[in-house]
Amino acid sequence: VPADGSHWLSMREVLDMLRQKGHEVVVVAPEVTLHIKPSKNFVMKMYSVPFTQEELEKAFKAFFRGSFEEGWILKRLLKAHQGMKTLTDCWITSCEQLLQNKELIRYLEESKF
């Protein structure tokens, strides 16, 4: 189950190589992501989350904007911390939604994921 962002970008290459070697690849991801998109190289199993694409992108942009803007260091650190907390809350909620999705969990168990 890949994390969005740089983790996914690195993992994507590994998944493509596994597929080329004949493996069936299944990616479990929330419907709202930054980089995880369907591909012919793997099967996507998606689940819903209680936030929108716009909300996730806004949180991501706020984190980076707060991290790189100029100004007083403590103010920048506070903004970066708040942005990271918002993103972390999205990821935790995403994990909770996956674990509460009985249909998807049943599929994963039956397929020996």
Give the HSE-up count for residue 45: Cα atoms under 13 Å, Cβ half-sphere: 16
Neighbouring residues of 4: CB distance < 8 A, sequence distance ≥ 6? 29, 33, 34, 35, 36, 91
The predicted-structure confidence for 20-64, as pLDDT tens digits, reads as follows: 999 999 999 999 998 898 888 899 999 999 999 999 998 888 877
Q: In 3D, which of 14, 12, 47, 19 has the Cα closest to residue 33? A: 47
Place 104 in a pLDDT band, splitting at 50, 70 and 90: very high
pTM of the complete model: 0.79
Rounded to an integer, the average pLDDT of 67-95 is 85
Rounded to an integer, the average pLDDT of 64-78 is 80
Domain boundaries, the chain: 6-111
71: left (phi over 0), alpha (psi -120 to 50) or beta: left
> What's the DSSP call for residue 102?
H
List the end-to-end C-alpha distance of the chain, in Å, as a whole number: 10
